[in-house]
C-alpha cells in the first residue's frame, strides 16, 4: 500500500472494499468523500450538497457497501437516480467497489428494459438495488413487499429527480421502505422542495457541503473543451498539435490513467512520463528534474503526485480529468504562469460535468471560454509552422557545408534540386501527414463516436417515456442550433461532404459550422442560430451525394 492510500485506509472500511479502491487507482479521498464516508458508515442520515465530478458516488457507495451483510440474500440498500444513464453508472461503480466482496450483487432497475429479469435479480438476492423512481414504482405495484428489507436509502441527484417530476413516485417509495432505514440525500442544489423532503423523511440529518471560497487566478489564460469521455486521448493529441507549449502538465484522476495517457503520448513521439503515487519518491524526483531540464516535455500526473511540483518551464496545464473541487482546479492551474510568465490552462469537460465548470467559473470569478478541437486546416498550419521553425535555423550555413554535395547528388541522380529537396523532406517528415487530405484521412474531421446514452436518439430506440427518463444530449455551444438531415452513412455521406455542401451553398465561414455527426440513417449539424431560417432556405435545393439535403432544425425533446 502506498502512503497516499492511507487516506482511504483511515476510514476503517471493510478490507475488501479498501483493496478494490486501491485497485481502482484512487490515491486519496475527495473532499466530499472525506466528510461523508464516516457519517454514512456510522448509520446517520445525511444531506450532501455536491454535484457530479466531486466523487459523490464513491462517497455513498463505499460506506453503504461497508454496512451491508453479504450473507443476507435480500435487498439492503436502495439507490434512486433520476435517469437510466446515472442508474447504470452508479450500479457499475458499486460493482467495481464490490469486486472483492464475494456474494454481493447489484441490480439496476430502469425503464425501457423488460421488468421480469429485474424482478428476478431482486428476488435472487441482490443486496444493492439502483433504480429510477418510475420503474421502481412499477415493480412496487406488482409486489409491494419488494423493498421491505431495505435499510439504507440514497437519493442521488435529488434536485434532478424533482425536476423530472418524480415527486409522487418518491412518496410511494418512501412509504414502501421500513421507517427505521438510514436515508442519505445528495443534491447539487437545495431548493425548498428538497428541504421539505429532508424534513419529512430524514432523521436529524448531518449536513455536508464542500466549502468554496473565491479564488483569484491571474496571468493564466483559461479555456475549456466539451468532449465525451472516450474521446479524451484523441482530443488531447489534437490540442497538442496546435498549442505552442514549452513544458506541460496534464492532470488525470487515477494512476492507471497517468500510465495510459503517458504511453499514448510517447507513442506519438512526445517526451512524456507518468507521475503517480505508486512511483517511488526518488523516481518521481527524477521525472521532475527531467521536466525541468527538457529531457521531458509532458508529465501526466495525479493531484497527489504533483504536490509541490514547481517547474518554471511549464507553459500549459491540461485538466484532462475534472478536478474534484474549484480549489483543486485553482491549485492545478497555478502550476503554470509561474514567475510572472503567461500560462495557459485547458479543461476537458464531459457533458455531465458542465455543472462543475459553472461552479469553477463562479468560484474563480472568471469565464472559462469554450474552444473547439482544431480542424484539419489548423493542424496542417501548425505542422508546417513547426517544420519551418525546425528548418529555418539550418538554412543559414547549409549551403556552405552541404551545397557541393547537393550539386553532386543532383548530377548523379539526374534530378532537379527541387526534386531532391522534396525527397529529403519526405524522409525528414517520416510519413507525417502534411496535406489537408492526408490529415482529414488521419482523423475524422469531427469526433462522431459519442458514447451510448449521450447519443441523440434514433427512432425506434426511444427510452420509455412513461418512465420520464431522459438522455443527456450532446452538448450544444451557445448561439448554435442543431439541424438534422435524413441523409446518413448508409447514403454514402461523410462529414466532409456535408461540410463542403454547406460551406459552398450556404456561403458560411468554416468556423460558423460546429460539430457534424453522421449516423447511419441521419446526420446532425450545428449551425449558427443567428440567421438560421435564411440559411436553411438558401440550402433548400442543395443536394449531397445525389440526394436532397433537406436540412431542418432539430429539437431534442
Part of the chain binding ligand AMP (CB under 6 A), chosen from 22-30, 409-417, 425-433, 459-467: 22-30
**Total of chain residues touching ligand AMP, rule CB under 6 A:** 13
30 binds ligand AMP (CB under 6 A): yes
86 contacts: CB under 8 Å, gap ≥ 6 = 156, 157
Per-residue x/- track, 48-87, ligand AMP (CB under 6 A): ----xxxxxxx-----------------------------
DSSP string, 35-51: HHHHHHHTT--EEEE--
463 binds ligand AMP (CB under 6 A): no
332 binds ligand AMP (CB under 6 A): no
Part of the chain binding ligand AMP (CB under 6 A), chosen from 27-35, 158-166, 457-465, 549-557: 27-35
- The burial class, CB within 10 Å (0-12 / 13-18 / 19+), for 339 is exposed
C-alpha span between 174 and 263 (Å, rounded): 49
C-alpha span between 306 and 250 (Å, rounded): 10
Closer to ligand AMP by Cβ: residue 53 or 134: 53
C-alpha span between 134 and 80 (Å, rounded): 10
Part of the chain binding ligand AMP (CB under 6 A), chosen from 24-32, 377-385, 391-399, 455-463: 24-32
Q: Any alpha helices (H) in 334-373, and if so which ranges?
A: 354-364
92 binds ligand AMP (CB under 6 A): no
Closer to ligand AMP by Cβ: residue 91 or 445: 91
C-alpha span between 557 and 555 (Å, rounded): 6
- Nearest-approach distance from CB 29 to ligand AMP, in angstroms: 5
- Nearest-approach distance from CB 322 to ligand AMP, in angstroms: 7
100 binds ligand AMP (CB under 6 A): no
- Nearest-approach distance from CB 320 to ligand AMP, in angstroms: 12
DSSP string, 366-421: S--EE-----HHHHHHHHHHHHHHHHHHHHHHHHHHHHHHHHHHHHHHT--HHHHH
- Nearest-approach distance from CB 83 to ligand AMP, in angstroms: 13
- Nearest-approach distance from CB 456 to ligand AMP, in angstroms: 23
C-alpha span between 516 and 524 (Å, rounded): 6
Contact 467, 135 (CB under 8 A): yes
C-alpha span between 124 and 137 (Å, rounded): 19
Closer to ligand AMP by Cβ: residue 245 or 251: 251
Pull the grid cell for residue 18: 479498501
Closer to ligand AMP by Cβ: residue 8 or 245: 8
* Residues near ligand AMP, by CB under 6 A: 26, 29-30, 33, 52-58, 253-254
Amino acid at each position: 500500500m502506498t502512503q497516499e492510500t492511507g487516506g482511504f485506509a483511515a476510514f476503517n472500511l471493510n478490507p475488501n472494499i479498501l483493496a478494490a479502491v486501491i485497485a481502482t487507482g484512487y490515491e486519496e479521498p475527495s473532499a466530499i468523500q472525506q466528510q461523508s464516508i464516516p457519517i454514512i458508515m456510522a448509520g446517520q442520515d445525511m444531506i450532501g450538497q455536491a454535484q457530479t465530478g466531486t466523487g459523490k458516488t464513491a462517497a455513498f457507495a463505499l460506506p453503504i457497501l461497508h454496512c451491508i451483510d453479504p450473507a443476507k440474500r435480500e435487498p439492503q440498500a436502495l439507490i434512486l437516480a433520476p435517469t437510466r444513464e446515472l442508474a447504470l453508472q452508479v450500479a457499475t461503480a458499486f460493482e467495481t467497489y464490490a469486486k472483492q466482496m464475494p456474494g454481493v450483487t447489484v441490480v439496476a432497475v430502469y425503464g425501457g428494459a423488460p421488468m421480469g429479469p429485474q424482478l428476478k435479480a431482486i428476488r435472487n438476492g441482490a443486496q444493492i438495488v439502483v433504480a429510477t423512481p418510475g420503474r421502481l414504482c412499477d415493480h412496487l405495484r406488482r409486489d409491494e413487499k419488494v423493498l421491505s428489507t431495505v435499510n439504507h436509502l440514497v437519493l442521488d441527484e435529488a434536485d434532478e429527480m424533482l425536476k423530472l417530476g418524480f415527486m409522487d413516485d418518491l412518496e410511494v417509495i418512501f412509504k414502501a421502505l421500513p421507517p427505521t432505514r438510514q436515508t442519505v440525500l445528495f443534491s447539487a442544489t437545495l431548493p425548498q422542495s428538497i428541504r421539505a423532503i429532508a424534513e419529512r423523511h430524514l432523521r436529524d440529518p448531518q449536513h455536508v457541503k464542500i466549502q468554496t471560497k473565491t479564488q483569484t487566478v491571474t496571468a493564466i489564460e483559461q479555456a475549456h473543451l466539451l468532449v465525451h469521455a472516450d474521446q479524451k486521448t484523441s482530443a488531447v493529441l489534437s490540442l497538442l498539435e496546435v498549442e505552442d507549449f514549452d513544458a506541460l502538465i496534464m492532470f488525470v484522476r487515477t494512476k492507471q490513467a497517468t500510465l495510459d495517457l503517458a504511453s499514448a503520448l510517447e507513442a506519438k513521439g512526445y517526451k512524456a512520463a507518468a507521475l503517480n503515487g505508486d512511483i517511488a519518491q526518488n523516481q518521481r524526483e527524477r521525472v521532475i528534474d527531467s521536466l525541468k531540464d527538457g529531457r521531458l516535455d509532458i508529465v501526466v500526473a495525479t493531484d497527489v503526485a504533483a504536490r509541490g511540483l514547481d517547474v518554471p518551464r511549464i507553459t500549459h496545464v491540461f485538466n484532462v480529468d475534472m478536478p474534484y473541487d474549484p480549489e483543486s482546479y485553482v491549485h492545478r492551474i497555478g502550476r503554470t504562469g509561474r514567475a510572472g510568465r503567461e500560462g495557459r490552462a485547458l479543461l476537458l469537460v464531459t457533458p455531465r460535468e458542465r455543472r462543475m465548470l459553472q461552479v469553477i467559473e463562479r468560484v474563480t470569478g472568471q469565464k472559462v471560454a469554450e474552444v473547439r478541437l482544431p480542424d484539419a486546416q489548423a493542424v496542417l498550419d501548425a505542422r508546417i509552422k513547426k517544420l519551418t521553425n525546425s528548418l529555418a535555423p539550418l538554412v543559414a550555413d547549409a549551403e556552405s557545408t552541404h551545397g557541393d554535395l547537393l550539386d553532386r547528388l543532383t548530377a548523379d541522380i539526374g534530378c532537379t534540386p527541387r526534386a531532391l529537396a522534396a525527397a529529403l523532406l519526405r524522409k525528414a517528415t517520416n510519413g507525417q501527414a502534411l496535406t489537408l487530405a492526408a490529415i482529414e484521412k488521419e482523423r475524422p474531421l469531427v469526433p462522431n463516436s459519442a458514447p451510448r446514452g449521450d447519443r441523440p436518439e434514433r427512432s425506434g430506440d426511444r427510452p420509455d417515456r412513461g418512465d420520464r427518463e431522459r438522455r443527456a444530449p450532446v452538448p450544444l455551444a451557445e448561439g448554435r442550433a442543431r439541424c438534422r438531415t435524413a441523409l446518413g452513412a448508409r447514403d454514402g455521406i461523410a462529414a466532409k461532404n456535408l461540410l463542403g455542401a454547406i460551406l459552398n451553398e450556404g456561403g458560411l465561414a468554416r468556423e460558423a459550422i460546429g460539430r457534424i455527426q453522421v449516423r447511419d440513417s441521419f446526420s446532425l449539424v450545428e449551425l449558427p442560430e443567428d440567421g438560421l431560417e435564411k440559411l436553411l432556405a438558401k440550402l433548400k435545393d442543395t443536394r449531397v451525394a445525389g440526394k436532397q439535403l433537406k436540412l431542418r432544425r432539430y429539437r431534442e425533446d
